[in-house]
Structure 1
Amino acid sequence: MKRVLLTIKGKVQGVGFRRFTLQKARALGLTGYVRNLDDGNVEVLVQGAYPAVDQLIISCEQGPIHAEVNDLLVEEDDGDEIYLDFSVTG
């Protein structure tokens, strides 16, 4: 199992990024959440099988059609919260 925290920077709010990420994560069988941050970035906590998590990272680098991703930070996350599904929070 792989668990990472993503911070996506650029034009990523108001362009359907959370819905896009939700659909991709659920299709890949991943759990966690996506949320908007006060600084205009989007945060994604995702956990699941290594190849599926890597695929979501690639999807987030591109984003939905109206998004402009300038930077994507990936951090290993060692939290112990258990997520049963993938959801939009905040």
Structure 2
Amino acid sequence: MRRRVLVIDDEDHIRRVMRMTLEAAGYEVEEAADGPRGLEAFGDGSPWDAVLLDQRMPGMDGLETLRRMKQRRADARVIMITAYA
């Protein structure tokens, strides 16, 4: 069974590059363009081996999205990313 990764980022090109890189490494990837869509895809967190989450997004930012994910699944593996560092 392939590992599953959820990529949440508001930038299309960033999601595309992450998808290509992760799929080439054998991961199954799903994308979401913002925090609310990311939370919808995340669900209870059980299907995901990891989440790559942009810190700076319009509307619900990455930190708020992370807080809500951790309420649903405290042991969720989330890697915060940003183009500003």
What TM-score do you get using the length of structure 1 for normalisation?
0.32
What TM-score do you get using the length of structure 2 for normalisation?
0.33
- Taking CA–CA contacts closer than 8 Å with sequence separation of 6 or more, which of the two structures ends up with the larger relative contact order? 1
